[in-house]
């Protein structure tokens, strides 16, 4: 596919609040691939919480705002599969009764990409290896796998970054138990699934855990912290790529 | 039906279930076995994905006009001599079935597993009316003994370990307390065999109700469904309206979708297709067949946005693949329908007042949709069932408005970054905010580092515009050239290839297959009778090529085994039932066997029922090689028109995995199925 050389970064509310480093890493990697990155200052949140709670009036407010901010961008890149899924697959569903607007949302969705998905579509086939890779595993979040249908891409990049230090996670396609409001509405079940996922992570002996969704990573890393697991570092894949480009951990 | 019409709380029920590690281990073990079996079969069926798409589009046609298909089905059941009752709700269905029982003076009824009957609460209604109902599916039998409810639509006793079943059998049935799984299955066989024989009525559900033939199709592995539809004098099928499919031509593909998704079986051990009661001249089968067509909200569901839940085949695959179901088991849903499909059905059948928070019992992971036989958009339904009666007010739009306004959004982010770094926030939140306290129950609060925000960094940075790109963007490779001939329809397999496939598939499911010559028949049969110490052999008289029947009869008469046939009934045509019950070996002529599924097909007819292939411990079927068909579709094509009163597809021995997923043979039907194919010059019977 033909991709423009200008991209707009949609950082997402979780990255803005908690992970500025992920935003910086995205910029570093995109620029290293020759893209000119814009950061539209008017951007806010995609409204996923309202969409998933079936509160369409609220979700529409956020969708319209997103359209206003990003409609003119040639391509939109976000370090979060679930937000991309909301924009690409959720927004059009909110406007089925308005054909003109629906069409604009479909167009918007078709040029909104998850960060790693975008690199793959842009033809980035080879990443430099990390100078001193450690055992690294990958949680392929539900929205990465089933929302945007990105299968095998992150794993391929991780093999280039980490070589034989990349270890796949068993039961990779099972949910980590975050589920947005699920995590606070059914904390017992959420906690059980969290602990199952952390057990799987521990069994890999990995020191780095990556994913393409910051909300799942927040749930996992803070669950690990509660259990006193301090061996593992939870990072977005963009951060590992930026480290490789910059010759090591900044 | 929900056991008490009180408000259910999934939160409370799941919180009770989570600490039970033993329960979780049992559920995960069986669900895992089922999921693995599905994966294995689907991996070897390249057309399965297309089949799922076909299933969905066919179901869309059906759910678009439920009433039309229901009328057509009802008319054809009546044309075949069945009696159709329409039940508008659960109470109606209970009343109708109870009245049928009373009209026939039925005191004991046997029942094959039916979640629709659980939905109706049939057992309680029947028992209140003085009819004793015995569940005959092993899993259902176990939970009936334990006075519990099913926790999985397919494997109702999934939550019980074998140790628990052992103690239950010892306590309730005075069984020895040292039985292994096979021993428990044998024990249950004996207990239940008596119930089948004394029952005045057999009650079943229905997997597929075929509109253009009036056929009720039941899929089982143990053989209890066959018992219920062929032994008692009255058969009552409780059919949810959504179970109707338009044509018998649709049946093979739907069966395949169901069994592959449920257990990874290409066909379940038994597929019983009942078309009306026993016909003139037949010596087996019920004299009356009643079909109770249940609405119970289905017409309303079909008219609404969640219509596709009526497409569900009740295969249980979404349960097996759901992380929430796997963590809490089925009882936490407090409904006969649990897991992802159950969440939708329970919410719609019983409503938001009974199940207010069930739609939240989902992380929206979407795995259920990937494994659904007919691609019901379960994830989307769970989402749209949330807050479905809520009206947004100006007041509750405020947070969204603030989030969509850049100024307030930025201030909000900045405030959150500052607050979250404050160590005293967590205890304060825990004490004052329930959601935060729930988050903190197993996680710390996320804490931003002290570095500057992304926006500050972005404003201060000087973009790198000198260095050439470090990462190379390759042109996309052109689409691979199509492989020549890839779209060519594969040549239809030769007879030999088909036979080889039959051999593989039948052997894989435990059929003991041999090719023998007519000259070897006597010696082989003698050896079998000796090896199994057969004291009585059942031989239906119909269907055989005369010279082979003569030969087999002569061999059996010369053996030590007593011979019983369908001409032994003193009142005329039919079995002498006491002899049939004692038969350890049933010898039948099989004039259709199917390569794709490794199955045999038996049609009821004069002097030719299906009991000889069901009641004895060992079933020997004899065929000529010409009786081979590619699959059930090919069989239907060669045998068009009204199906026989009972058509049975048999795939291997009777089996169950109801105790901890441990596969055990010989539950209600035979533990050995032997198929001898006569390599013969004698082609008097075969296709068409």
From chain B, the residues in CB contact with A50 under 8 A are 400
B9-39: per-residue pLDDT in tens?
999 999 999 999 999 999 999 899 999 999 9
Q: Please choose, from the candidates A212, A177, A167, the residue with its C-alpha nearest in 3D space to the C-alpha of residue A198.
A: A177
Distance from CA of B25 to the nearest CA of A (A): 12
Please give the residue of chain A at the shortest CA–CA distance from B435.
A184
| B593-594 and B628-629 strand pairing | parallel
Q: Which chain A residues are closer than 8 Å to B478 by Cβ?
A: none
Does the beta-carbon distance from A32 to B471 stay under 8 Å? yes
ipTM: 0.97
Region B174-192: mean pLDDT is 94
Q: How far is CA B136 from the centre of its chain?
A: 15
Please give the pLDDT value at position B688. Answer: 34
The mean per-residue pLDDT over the stretch B538-554 comes to 93
Bridge-partner residues for B602, per DSSP? Answer: B648
Q: Which tokens sit at B682?
A: 């004698």
CA distances from B618 to A18, B583, B612, B667 (A): 68, 9, 9, 12
Give the number of C-alpha atoms closer than 13 A to the C-alpha of residue B605, restricted to the C-beta side.
13
- Considering only the beta carbons, identify the residue of B383, B385, B464 that sits closest to A31: B464
Residue indicated by tokens 């050995």: B672
Instruction: Please indicate whether residue B468 or residue B270 has the higher confidence score (pLDDT).
Output: B270
CB contact under 8 A, B363 and A142: yes
Task: For chain A, say whether B626 makes contact (Cβ under 8 Å).
Answer: no
Q: Tell me which DSSP letter residue A86 carries.
A: I
Q: Find which of B470, B477, B479 to mutate to test the A interface (most A CBs within 10 Å of its CB).
A: B470
Q: How many angstroms separate the CA of residue A154 from the nearest CA in chain B?
A: 16
* Mean pLDDT to the nearest integer, B163-168: 94
Cα angle B338-B342-B345, degrees, rounded to a multiple of 5:
150
Residues A43, A46: Cα–Cα separation, whole Å: 9
Question: For B598-613, what is the mean pLDDT?
Answer: 91
In chain B, the residue whose alpha carbon lies closest to the alpha carbon of A59 is B400
Instruction: For chain A, 250 residues long, give each residue's pLDDT as a single digit of tens.
Output: 556 789 999 999 999 999 999 999 999 999 999 999 999 999 999 999 999 999 999 999 999 999 999 999 999 999 999 999 999 999 999 999 999 999 999 999 999 999 999 999 999 999 999 999 999 999 999 999 999 999 999 999 999 999 999 999 999 899 999 999 999 999 999 999 999 999 999 999 999 999 999 999 999 999 999 999 999 999 999 999 999 999 866 5
Strand partners, B245: B210
Q: Is B369 on the interface with A (CB under 8 A)?
A: yes
B36 touches chain A (CB under 8 A): no
Nearest to B135 by CA among B148, B144, B126: B144
Distance CA A177, CA A195 (A): 9
Judged by CB atoms closer than 8 Å, whether chains meet at A47 and B438 is answered as: no
Task: Verify whether the Cβ–Cβ distance B413 to A62 is below 8 Å.
Answer: no
- pLDDT greater than 90 at residue B477: no
Whether pLDDT at B466 is above 90: no
Residue in B with minimal Cα distance to A188: B15
What residue in B sits closest to A47 (Cα-Cα)? B400
For the CA atoms of B55, B269, B603, B207, what is the dihedral angle to 10 degrees?
A: -40
Cα separation values, B134 from A45, B164, B236, B626, B683, Å: 57, 20, 14, 42, 45
The whole-number pLDDT of residue B657 equals: 87
- N-terminal to C-terminal alpha carbon distance within chain B: 46
Q: Which of B357, B363, B406 sits opposite A177 (nearest CB)?
A: B363
CA-CA distance, B555 to B548, in Å (whole number)? 11
Residue among A32, A127, A189 minimizing CB distance to B469: A32
CA dist., res. A93 & res. A85, Å (int): 12
Nearest to A54 among B357, B386, B413 (CB): B386
Could you tell me the sign of the dihedral formed by the alpha carbons of B659, B660, B666, B669, in that order?
positive
Helices (H) and strands (E) in chain B, counts: 28, 22
The position carrying tokens 């936490």 is B332
**Best interface-test mutation with A: which of B13, B400, B418, B459 has the largest number of A CBs within 10 A?**
B400
B383 CB within 8 Å of a chain A CB: yes
Q: Mean pLDDT in chain B?
A: 93
Q: Tell me if chain A has a CB within 8 Å of the CB of B433.
A: no
Mind telling me how many Å the CA of A50 is from chain B's nearest CA?
8
d(CA B88, CA B298): 9
* Interchain pair A20, B416: CB under 8 A: no
pLDDT of residue B476: 65
Question: Taking Cα atoms as reference points, which of B86, B132, B85 lies closest to residue B290?
Answer: B85
Residues of chain B above pLDDT 90, percent? 84
Measured between beta carbons, the chain A residues lying within 8 angstroms of B453 are 16, 20
Q: Are B589 and B543 in contact (CB under 8 A)?
A: yes
Alpha-carbon gap: B439 to the closest alpha carbon of chain A (Å): 5
A123 vs B328, B457, B474: nearest CB: B474
Alpha carbon of A200: minimum distance to chain B alpha carbons (Å): 14
CA distance B337 to B151: 8
Q: What is the DSSP string of B243-296?
A: GEES-TTTHHHHHHHHHHHHHS-SS-SEEEEE-SSPPTTB-SS-SEEEEEEE-T
For residue B683, the model assigns a pLDDT of 46
Which residue of chain B has the CA closest to A146?
B366
Q: Which two tokens stand for residue A157?
A: 């990049």
Instruction: State the smallest CA–CA distance between residue A204 and chain B in angstroms.
Output: 21
Is A225's CB within 8 Å of B404's CB?
A: no
DSSP alpha helix (H) spans, B532-599: 546-558, 577-582
Q: How far apart are CA B116 and CA B250, in angstroms?
A: 22
Three-state DSSP state, B552: helix
And the tokens for A105? Answer: 């949302």
pLDDT of residue B411: 98
- Do the chains contact at B397 and A58, CB–CB below 8 Å? yes
Q: Residues B632, B234, B572, CA angle at the centre, nearest 5°? A: 85
- Chain B residues in contact with A199 by the CB 8 A cut-off are none
A119 to chain B: nearest residue by CA?
A: B473
Q: Provide, as residue numbers in chain B, all residues whose Cβ is less than 8 Å from the Cβ of A170.
A: none
What is the number of residues in chain A? 250
Rg for chain A (alpha carbons), in Å? 18
**Residue B501 neighbours by CB under 8 Å, 6+ apart:** B493, B595, B596
Nearest-CA distance from A112 to chain B in Å?
A: 19
pLDDT, residue B479, reads 60
In chain A, what residues touch B401 (CB-CB under 8 Å)?
61
Instruction: Please give the residue of chain B at the shortest CA–CA distance from A148.
Output: B366
Q: Say whether residue B446 is in contact with chain A using an 8 A CB cutoff.
A: yes
Question: CA dist B243 to B114, B316, B436, Å?
Answer: 12, 15, 45
- Cα–Cα dist A222/A194, whole Å: 10
Distance CA B439, CA B448 (A): 17
pLDDT digits (tens, 9 = 90+) for B359-411: 999 999 999 999 999 999 999 999 999 999 888 888 889 999 999 999 999 99
Query: Distance, in angstroms, between B17 CA and closest chain A CA?
Result: 9
**Chain A CB within 8 Å of residue B127 CB:** no
Q: Shortest CB distance from A61 goes to which of B401, B441, B448?
A: B401
How many CB pairs below 8 A link A and B?
221
Across the interface, whether the CB atoms of B392 and A174 are under 8 A apart is answered: no
> Of all residues in chain B, what percent carry a pLDDT higher than 70?
95
- At residue B334, φ and ψ (nearest 5 deg) are 45, 50
DSSP state letter for B608: B
Distances (CA, A) of B369 to B412, B463, B661: 36, 44, 24
**Using an 8 Å Cβ cutoff, are A7 and A35 in contact?**
yes
Q: Does B10 touch chain A (CB under 8 A)?
A: yes
| Chain B positions in Cβ-Cβ contact with residue A62 (cut-off 8 Å) | 400, 403-404
Q: Are strands B536-539 and B562-565 parallel, antiparallel or unpaired?
A: parallel
pTM over cut 0.90: yes
Interchain CB distance below 8 Å, B470 and A123: no
């Amino acid at each position: 596919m033909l991709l423009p050389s200008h991209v707009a970064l949609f950082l997402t509310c979780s990255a803005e609040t908690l992970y500025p480093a992920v935003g910086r890493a995205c910029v570093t990697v995109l620029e290293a691939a020759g893209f000119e990155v814009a950061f539209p200052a008017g951007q806010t949140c995609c409204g996923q919480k309202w969409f998933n709670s079936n509160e369409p009036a609220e979700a529409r407010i956020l969708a319209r705002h997103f359209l206003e901010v990003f409609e003119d961008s040639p391509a939109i890149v976000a370090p979060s599969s679930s937000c991309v899924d909301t924009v690409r697959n959720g927004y059009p569903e909110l406007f089925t009764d308005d054909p003109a607007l629906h069409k604009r949302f479909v167009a918007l969705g078709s040029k909104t990409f998850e960060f790693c998905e975008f690199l793959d579509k842009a033809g980035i086939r080879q990443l430099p290896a990390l100078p001193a890779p450690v055992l690294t595993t990958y949680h392929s979040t539900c929205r990465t796998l089933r929302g945007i249908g990105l299968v095998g891409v992150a794993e391929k990049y991780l093999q280039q970054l980490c070589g034989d230090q990349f270890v796949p996670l068993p039961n990779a396609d099972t949910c980590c138990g975050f589920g947005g409001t699920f995590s606070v509405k059914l904390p017992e079940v959420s906690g059980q699934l969290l602990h199952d996922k952390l057990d799987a992570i521990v069994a890999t002996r990995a020191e780095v855990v990556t994913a393409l969704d910051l909300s799942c990573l927040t749930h996992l890393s803070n669950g690990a912290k509660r259990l006193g697991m301090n061996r593992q570092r939870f990072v977005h894949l963009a951060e590992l790529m930026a480290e490789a480009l910059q010759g090591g951990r900044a | 039906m929900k056991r008490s019409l009180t408000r259910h709380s999934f939160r409370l029920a799941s919180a009770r279930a989570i600490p039970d590690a033993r329960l979780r281990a049992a559920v995960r073990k069986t669900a895992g076995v089922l999921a693995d079996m599905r994966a294995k079969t689907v991996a070897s069926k390249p057309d399965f994905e297309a089949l799922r798409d076909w299933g969905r589009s066919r179901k869309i046609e059906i759910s678009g006009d439920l009433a039309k298909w229901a009328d057509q089905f009802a008319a054809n059941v009546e044309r075949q001599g069945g009696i159709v009752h329409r039940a508008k709700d659960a109470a109606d269905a209970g009343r109708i079935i109870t009245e049928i029982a009373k009209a026939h003076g039925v005191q004991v009824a046997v029942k094959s597993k039916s979640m629709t009957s659980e939905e109706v609460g049939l057992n309680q209604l029947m028992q209140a009316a003085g009819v004793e109902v015995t569940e005959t599916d092993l899993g259902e039998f176990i939970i009936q003994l334990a006075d519990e409810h099913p926790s999985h639509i397919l494997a109702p006793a999934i939550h019980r370990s074998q140790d628990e079943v052992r103690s239950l059998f010892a306590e309730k049935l005075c069984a020895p307390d040292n039985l292994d799984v096979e021993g428990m299955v044998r024990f249950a066989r004996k207990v239940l065999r008596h119930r089948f024989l004394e029952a005045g009525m057999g009650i079943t559900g229905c997997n597929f109700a075929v509109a253009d033939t009036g056929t009720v199709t039941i899929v089982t592995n143990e053989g209890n469904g066959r018992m219920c539809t062929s032994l008692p004098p009255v058969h009552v099928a409780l059919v949810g309206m959504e179970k109707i499919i338009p044509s018998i031509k649709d049946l093979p593909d739907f069966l395949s979708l169901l069994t592959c998704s449920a257990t990874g079986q290409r066909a379940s051990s038994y597929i019983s297709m009942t078309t009306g009661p026993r016909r003139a001249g037949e010596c087996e089968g019920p004299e009356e067949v009643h079909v109770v067509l249940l609405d119970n909200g289905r017409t309303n569901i079909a008219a609404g946005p969640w219509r596709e839940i009526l497409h569900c085949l009740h295969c249980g695959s979404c349960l097996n693949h759901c992380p929430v179901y796997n963590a809490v088991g089925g009882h936490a849903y407090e409904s006969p329908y649990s897991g992802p499909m159950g969440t939708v059905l329970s919410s719609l059948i019983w409503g938001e007042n009974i199940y207010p928070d069930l739609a939240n019992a989902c992380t929206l992971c979407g795995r259920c949709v990937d494994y659904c036989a007919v691609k019901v958009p379960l994830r989307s339904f769970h989402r749209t069932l949330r807050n479905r009666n809520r009206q947004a007010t100006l007041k509750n739009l405020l947070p969204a408005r603030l989030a969509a306004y850049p100024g307030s959004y930025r201030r909000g982010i900045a405030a959150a970054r500052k607050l979250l770094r404050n160590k005293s926030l967590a205890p304060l939140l825990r004490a004052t905010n329930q959601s935060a306290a729930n988050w903190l129950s197993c996680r710390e609060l996320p804490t931003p580092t002290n570095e500057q925000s992304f926006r500050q960094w972005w404003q201060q940075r000087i973009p790198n515009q000198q260095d050439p790109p470090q990462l190379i963007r390759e042109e996309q490779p052109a689409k691979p050239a199509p492989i020549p001939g890839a779209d060519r329809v594969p040549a239809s397999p030769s007879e030999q290839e088909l036979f080889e496939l039959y051999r593989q598939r039948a052997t894989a499911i435990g059929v003991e297959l041999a090719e023998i010559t007519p000259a070897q028949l006597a010696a082989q049969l003698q050896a079998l009778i000796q090896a199994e110490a057969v004291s009585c052999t059942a031989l239906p008289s119909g269907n055989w090529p005369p010279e082979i029947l003569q030969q087999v009869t002569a061999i059996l008469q010369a053996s030590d085994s007593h011979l019983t046939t369908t001409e032994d009934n003193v009142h005329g045509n039919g079995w002498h039932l006491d002899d049939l019950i004692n038969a350890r070996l049933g010898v039948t002529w099989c004039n259709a066997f199917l390569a794709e599924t490794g199955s045999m097909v038996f049609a009821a007819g004069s002097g030719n029922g299906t009991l000889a292939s069901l009641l004895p411990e060992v079933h020997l079927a004899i065929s000529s090689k010409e009786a081979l068909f590619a699959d059930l579709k090919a069989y239907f094509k060669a045998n068009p028109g009204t199906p026989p009163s009972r058509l049975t597809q048999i795939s291997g021995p009777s089996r169950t995995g109801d105790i901890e997923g441990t596969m055990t043979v010989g539950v209600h039907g035979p533990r050995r199925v032997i198929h001898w194919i006569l390599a013969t010059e004698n082609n008097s019977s075969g296709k068409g």
